[in-house]
Amino acid sequence: MLTLIRSLIIPVFLIVFSTATVAATAVPYSFTAGTAAKASEVNADFQAMATAIDTLATRVAKLEGQITASDLVGTYVSDSFSVRLNINGGTGGVTDVRVYKATLTLVADGTGTITSNTEKGAMLEIASPSPATLTPVNASIPLQSFTWHLSGSSMIIDTWLMTFSIVSGGRLLIGTSNDTISGDVTSTVWLLTRTQ
């Protein structure tokens, strides 16, 4: 049964895959049986195929991590999730969960901006012996500017010392941070999805 499935799936996959590849590459000339082919037309077809192969090789190299800073320049949708914990010396504490949605733009000169930044979530405050309070968070954050650079296979936002892994040829950037400041412990996950 497994052999039958393999014998059916593999040829279908190859036909679909090869059709998609052929459809994406156009050659300038077509030849018919019994007519003479001009060398210049045959060479033009070979050149079109060579260009398509080189373009594909460049795309594969980027997917395999051969990225330059210019490959990252563009606009990204930013989705992030943050959890903050603060324990006030055993007398209570704060748990804070927030989701951020923004547009992040990376510019070729190593600068960037975050716009349309919204913050939603909730803050749970526990203050012994008082009852706990739950406060909703719904805010707009003003435009923020930053600097960034490429370091190996990572993009770093210098202003906040955040490191992002580059995935899928720069179409997706994934960053995490864990900060401890004055008793606050905050963990954040950022997903930057390329739109342009």
Pairing of strands 111-127, 74-87: unpaired
The topology under which CATH files domain 69-194 is Porin (2.40.160)
Handedness of CA 151, 114, 111, 145 (dihedral sign): negative
Beta-carbon count within 10 A of 157 CB: 21
Q: Is the pTM of this model over 0.85?
A: no
Q: Are 101 and 82 in contact (CB under 8 A)?
A: no
Q: How many residues does the chain have?
A: 196
% residues pLDDT > 90 (the chain):
23
Model confidence over 12-60: pLDDT tens digits? 444 444 444 444 678 888 888 888 888 888 888 878 877 777 767 666 6
The Cβ-side half-sphere exposure at 166, using a 13 Å CA radius, reads: 22
Beta-carbon count within 10 A of 59 CB: 11
Give the C-alpha separation, 94 to 87, whole Å: 7
In the predicted model, is pLDDT for residue 178 greater than 50? yes
What are the extents of the domains in the chain? 2-29+37-63, 69-194
Residue 91, Cα to own-chain centre: how many angstroms?
A: 42
Model confidence over 82-124: pLDDT tens digits? 888 887 666 667 888 889 999 999 999 999 999 988 888 888 8
Q: How confident is the model at residue 8 (pLDDT cuts 50, 70, 90)?
A: very low
Q: Are 69 and 150 in contact (CB under 8 A)?
A: yes
